Amino acid sequence: MTSQLSPEIKNKVNQWLEGSYDAATKASIQALLDAQNYTELTDAFYQDLAFGTGGLRGVMGVGSNRVNRYTLGAATQGLSNYLKQSFPDTALKVAIAHDSRNRSKEFARITAEVFAANDIYVYLFDDLRPTPELSFAIRELGCQSGVVITASHNPKEYNGYKAYWVDGGQIVAPHDKNVISEVNKVAVDDIKFDGKPENIEMIGAAMDEKYLAQIQALSFSPEVIKRQKDLKIVFTPIHGTSVTLVPQILQQMGFENVHIVEEQALPDGNFPTVLYPNPEEAEALSMGLAKAKELDADLLMGTDPDADRVGIALKNHHGEWQLLNGNQTATLLINHLIQARKKAGKMQGNEYIAKTIVTTNLLDEIALKNGLEVFNTLTGFKYIAEVIRENEGKKYFLGGGEESYGYLAGEFVRDKDAILACALIAEMVAFAKDEGRSPFEKLIDIYTEYGYYYETLISLTRKGKAGADEIKAMMQGFRDAPPKMLGGSAVVQLADYNASEMTDLRTGEKTPIDLETSNVLQFFLEDGSKVSARPSGTEPKIKFYVSVKTPLNSRAEYDATEAKMKEKVAQIVKDLGV
């Protein structure tokens, strides 16, 4: 435990104790001081919450590094000020939604009232709604911005604030830095909390109908679904918002055999049945998996609290249930979009996909072989949204995704969309069944054609200021002394996205990287493997993405090849020392 407060933190604590904060907030801070809980106070005040890849996110509580009435109020006031600068002489409009987390509805109302007090017209969803529907609503209503109150898949003590721009995508450079600059200028007395009721309009069911109609329009073959209407689907919202729309869109598309995991159907910010409400975690889908086995289902799908990520499970080539990772689901989905579009005769020749740099390169191979262009972006779906905006009207975004279980198709939403993804994944499974094959067999066939990619994610949590310092030192260590060998293969190239350069470690030659700077390192091995290191922008974590590739000559060799690649990945992780 920290033995005392630094002068900087002591000063910030005093500013809150002496400033225009409510009595309950001051009492909470004083209680921490009286208890000499300096570690908690340090973590609560050592920095101001900043926009990362997912916006503003943190633990709920008092302090400048916590999510509370004042940090969200300052963010909204700063965003309001920037909107007025960016859209002068415009009648400004914003849309606001919230997820199922504790205090999300309260925080959404506070956000709405700050906007309204700044003479900005607010469309506020009447109840919890998926994040992607907020993205859709911004464009549909002609808003200049929008906010959704959510901490996505973080633990229950977290909440957050995702800010969106006029295109429906999350705020990117230069606007993100400009917004936070405005936020940093906001003092507590500058925040206008008393919203004008006439500036707030409630929205709901009518927007749902428009959004779901756009998703249904993406379906390539209603005839296939009609033939496979009895496809047995198990779905869990993991106590989140997707329960409002996933069953509805599946029914609209024609699927008649959908089973919801009842124990996880009720929206609940305490997420009582899981350790973490994250479909990337096997534990979060364990109840759904048990129900899928019990019913002998064809597909299991589970979404995170704000419904922008989805995890799935299928029966593998041995007839056993297997959870797919995000790269595998993205591979099946992109392959389906391409093949189904071709089969329907809808390919126009200007299609492209977009993915993040830490997502499997198998997507690049599939797209390029089928004549599609590929855009690789930094981690964070806001960068994929930026690509869509830049190509709008010139090229068509067929689909894309990221390894962290986020996928998108079409151009009417500008963020990862689990409602849309659930609809298309169900259609994908129906297509496979209509062909008399399993989706997992199709995945193995893809590996046979393009090479077997095996990928895994190592995620290390390091909380608080001490953890942030440790992660920073770890990244600097890799920059100062990159590993020479990983998994028995030489490291031949180092990509440092913070320095915007690629270095050939054999010759020392450097080439520029034409992307915005980001704290990411990638090691490229002589055998074609790729290892990426990246501190999370939204969680106290550092993540290592490991991808290895080898030829796969037949389905019969799949198990042996997988075992060999698992050994290789284990050796790479050992060599990294993490």
Catalytic residues: 152
Give long-range contacts, CB 8 A cutoff, 24+ apart: 45-49: 45/9, 45/12, 45/13, 45/16, 46/8, 46/9, 46/465, 47/465, 48/183, 48/184, 49/75
The upper half-sphere exposure of residue 250, i.e. CA atoms within 13 Å in the direction of its Cβ, equals 31
Distance between the two ends of the chain, CA-based, in angstroms? 25
Distance, in Å, from the CA atom of 244 to the CA atom of 129, rounded to the nearest integer, reads: 7
Tokens of 141: 């209503």
What letter does residue 198 receive in the DSSP assignment? G
CA dihedral 77, 78, 84, 87 (to 10 degrees): -130
Closest listed residue to residue 299, CA positions, set 355, 330, 258, 349: 258
Tokens of 351: 């299609």
Q: Give backbone dihedrals phi and psi of 62, rounded to 5 degrees, phi first.
A: -85, 150
Distance, in Å, from the CA atom of 270 to the CA atom of 533, rounded to the nearest integer, reads: 31
Distance, in Å, from the CA atom of 57 to the CA atom of 66, rounded to the nearest integer, reads: 8
Tokens of 344: 């329907």
Q: Which residues contact 563 (CB under 8 A, 6 or more apart)?
A: none
**Structural element, H or E, at residue 398:** strand 396-402
On whether the CB atoms of residues 208 and 455 are closer than 8 A, the answer is: no
DSSP states along 407-430? EEESSS--S--HHHHHHHHHHHHH
For residue 500, CA distances in Å to 54, 137, 364, 494, 520 come to: 22, 35, 22, 11, 10
Closest listed residue to residue 438, CA positions, set 428, 448, 447: 428
**Structural element, H or E, at residue 502:** strand 501-504
